Structure 1
Amino acid sequence: MGSAIGLREDFDGAALRRLSRTTKSANQALRLLALAEIYDGGSRSAAARIGGVGLQIVRDWVIRFNARGPDRLLDGKAPGPRSRLNDTQRRALVDVVENGPVPAIHGVVRWRLIDLARWLYDEFAVSLDDTTISRELKKLGYVKLTARPRHHAQNEHAMEAFKKGFAAELAKVKAILPKGTPIEIWFQEEARVGQKNTITRRWASRGTRPSAPKDQRMKSAYILGAICPELGKGAGLVLPFCNTDTMSLHLAEISLAVAPGAHAVVLMDQAGWHMTDKLDVPDNISIVALPPKCPELNPVENIWQFMRDNWLSNRVFTSYEKIVDLCCEAWNKLVDQPWRIMTIGRRKWTRRS
């Protein structure tokens, strides 16, 4: 018979007994006491009786302990069942999720878990339930998100061309100004807020459907808002409608917020009341039109989303005056948080100019 495997020499019985009293694992404590018996000169049979196991298991504990010390005597996490998807099938799943369903082929306009389960079975004869597919998607880095609206006729090339050419547009404005005039880049947009208000997501117990107040009346007002992301400034008005006259009032408000001696370049979409020759544009403002159907270029759209999600949604406005009061309160709260304007509104393509 071969000789028993000796224990490592940097521990002793007293040390293992002390560790057994501090560990939170009952199984580790039992194994430490069994090995402490060996350190103190006891037999392997006695150690096996303390541990309630056979001699082969004691031998395994000794090997594990010698390799990595007391930590190796902790129970490891069970590996669990093998994944039923291989790497090829996972790559195919990623491709189909990224490309989205084809309604004429798949019969749906968005993937549900049950649809992906059916697709996997049709393609690979792999049968998975919804929970398993959800777990696989999360491992692959996918979560269920609300899609961002995009105009159906949007020209992505025009967006990129505008970003690359913005420095040239800014140079045209600088060319007609006195040399050394500071330039402030502003973004302008309007938002309608009314009694027919929006409802946001909210935390709720799993399996329930939370409710929120929803008014069906039609009174509304408009927030005309503009921000200067680099300086964290804002200028806004709450008015009953949008037209050339109200736009002129808003430009005058922006003009007051521009630093003395500076010139503001205001980026806005091509709404009729933005581009008309009848608009009264202050001397310290130049207007640059954004490409059509490209609201993503205007960070004020993100400002509106933030204000609705945090301050304006899930409310019932009892009157037009209440709408105006809460819109003013929300806008003033935003202006009092310049860091918020900076973090939401900054765009790299304007800072390269």
Structure 2
Amino acid sequence: MARPLKLEIAESEDELKALLRRQKTAQGKERVQAIYLLKLGRVKSVSELAIVLGRNRVTVQEWLAAYRHGGMKGLLTRRRQPGRQGTIPSWAVKALQKRLADPKGFRSYGAVQQWLSDSLGVDVSYMAVYRLVHGKLRAKLKVGKRQSTEQDPERLQQFKSELAGNLNLLKQVFAVPHSSQPRRIRYWCQDETRWSLTTICRRLLSAVGVKPIGNMQWVCEGFWLYGVVEPLCGEQFFYEFSHLDSVCFQQFLHLFAQQYPDEFHIWHLDRASAHIAKRIQPPANVLLLFQPSYCPELNPIERLWQHLKDSLSWQLFADVPALRTTVRQRLTQLTQEVVKSLTGWDYILDALFVAGIS
């Protein structure tokens, strides 16, 4: 015959019932339920309680012992199992996390292993590094964003921080004194990209252990696509040319001015030789705002080009007319919402808001 269970329960039935409802885990619920059943007097022994809960008698005894020594707090506090000590000490893991936050990253898991040895004096196996970096820290190899060695990070940040002030100044210059209907000012991002018959390579999805294969052709024939997009509202204007030079760029400026003659336009663009040539004469309603050299990441139209080329990856074209037809189809499918989502970068939209350009 089982011995009667003696346990002093400090909480009332209502308190236990409310506490039971507040539990968010199954482990917490069944532990509070054990005390609640004892409080109601529905079970008289540890064996009966174990049967009702579907738990081993020893497990229930451990719960009750925890309650006796620490009350409800002791009962609900789960002891962490010590487990096996990691091969990489915690201080080294923290240092590695900080190093992984550096955009320069590591070339491989082997490079991480070498860094741990050289910088921290921690010698571990390749598999230990892989399990930590890939499994626990959730870091993985990615395609790096290319950056010129001649880029000046200070000038890049300066362009971003001073954009609102520059736009506000230009707005004052463009303003017509005593005009009842001032002309609207619009901000555009301009660039060119080349399309050729050479296959656009991108990543392919395949099963584990299967190396994907993509058919490739190397043919240089193609054309240049000139474009401007408006990040604020998603408006776009494209035109095809045979070359990237000052003659074609000047013609593109005139075509744009004819298409949008009623507003002032600010073009954000890079310092390509075709853009800064002495022969370039912008139309009266277009002003060119040049970004710092070697900073393509400042121009959101680059992301639009990537979006378009991703959609044509691994496609093979027999000739330039076939390529041209497909590119034109992709351009007609571009909605203003898509363009805004791709080019509406925060630093530009914030500057436009501060300058009062809408």
Q: What is the rounded CA distance, in whole Å, between the counterparts of 1:52 and 1:295 in structure 2? A: 64
8 Å CA contact 1:232, 1:338 repeated in 2: yes
Describe the shift of the 1:264–1:90 C-alpha distance in structure 2 as closer, same or farther (beyond 3 A).
Answer: same
Where does residue 153 of structure 1 map in the other structure? 150
Rounded to whole Å, the distance in 2 between the matches of 1:68 and 1:252 is 79
CA contact (8 A) 1:231 1:342 kept: no
Residue 341 in structure 1 maps to residue 343 in structure 2: no
Aligned to 2:23: none
CA shift, 1:45, in A, is 5.0
2:96 aligned with 1:93: yes
Q: Is it true that 1:115 corresponds to 2:111 in the alignment?
A: yes
- What fraction of aligned residue pairs are identical, expressed as a percent? 17
Q: Can you list the C-alpha shifts for 1:130-182, whole angstroms capped at 9, x where unaligned?
A: 36544346655644322111111112222233334443366257425524332
Aligned to 2:305: 304
* In structure 1, distance between residues paired with 2:117 and 2:223: 52
How far, CA to CA, are the matches of 2:237 and 2:230 in structure 1? 9
Code of the residue aligned with 1:252 in structure 2: it is H
Which letter maps to 2:307?
A: F
Any conservation in 2 of the 1:221–1:323 contact (CA below 8 Å)?
Answer: no
Partner AA of 1:152 in structure 2: T
| TM-score calculated relative to the size of structure 1 | 0.74
Q: 1:327 corresponds to which residue?
A: 327
Tell whether 2:176 aligns with 1:178. Answer: yes
SS at match of 1:330: helix
C-alpha separation between the residues in 2 aligned to 1:93 and 1:297? 30
Cross-structure match for 1:20? none
Q: How far 1:299 moved relative to its partner?
A: 1.2
Q: Is the 1:244–1:273 Cα contact (8 Å) retained in structure 2?
A: yes
CA RMSD of aligned residues (A): 4.3
Given the two structures, how large is their TM-score scaled by the length of structure 2?
A: 0.73
Q: Is the 8 A contact 2:50 2:60 kept in 1?
A: yes
Identify the match of residue 232 of structure 1 among 231, 234, 237.
Answer: 234
In structure 2, give the amino acid aligned to 1:175: V
Unaligned 5+ segments in structure 2 are 18-25
CA distance in 2, matches of 1:245, 1:257: 19
**1:203 paired residue among 178, 188, 205:** 205
Amino acid across the alignment from 1:262: E
Counterpart residue identity of residue 345, structure 2? R
* Correspondence for 2:124 among 127, 133, 136: 127
Count of aligned positions: 328
Q: Distance in 2 between matches of 1:290 and 1:230?
A: 18
Say which SS state the counterpart of residue 229 (structure 2) adopts. strand
What is the Cα deviation at residue 263 of structure 1?
Answer: 0.5
Which moves more between the two structures, 320-329 or 235-244?
235-244
1:197-220 Cα shifts (integer Å, max 9, x gaps): 221123322332222232112221
Residues 190, 268 of structure 2: 8 Å contact kept: yes
Q: Taking structure 1 as reference, are residues 341 and 215 closer, same or farther at Cα in structure 2, changes over 3 Å only?
A: farther
In structure 2, what is the equivalent of residue 315 of structure 1?
315
* Deviation (angstroms), 1:316: 0.9
In the alignment, the residues of structure 1 paired with residue 98 and residue 59 of structure 2 have an alpha-carbon distance, to the nearest angstrom, of 48
> Partner residue of 1:194?
196
Instruction: Note if contact 1:154-1:294 (Cα within 8 Å) is conserved in structure 2.
Output: yes
Q: Deviations over 1:96-145 (max 9, x none)?
A: 545699xxxxxxx9432133234435543442443654434665564432
Query: Pick from 79, 84, 90: which aligns with 1:81?
Result: 84
CA deviation after TM superposition for structure 1 residue 265, in Å: 0.9
- Give how far 1:256 is off: 4.4
SS in 2 for 1:211: coil
CA contact (8 A) 1:97 1:111 kept: no
Q: 1:106 aligns to what?
A: none
Q: Secondary structure at the match of 2:150?
A: coil
Describe the SS at the equivalent of 1:201: coil
Further displaced range: 243-252 or 134-143: 134-143
SS at match of 1:91: helix
Query: 1:292: which partner in 2?
Result: 293
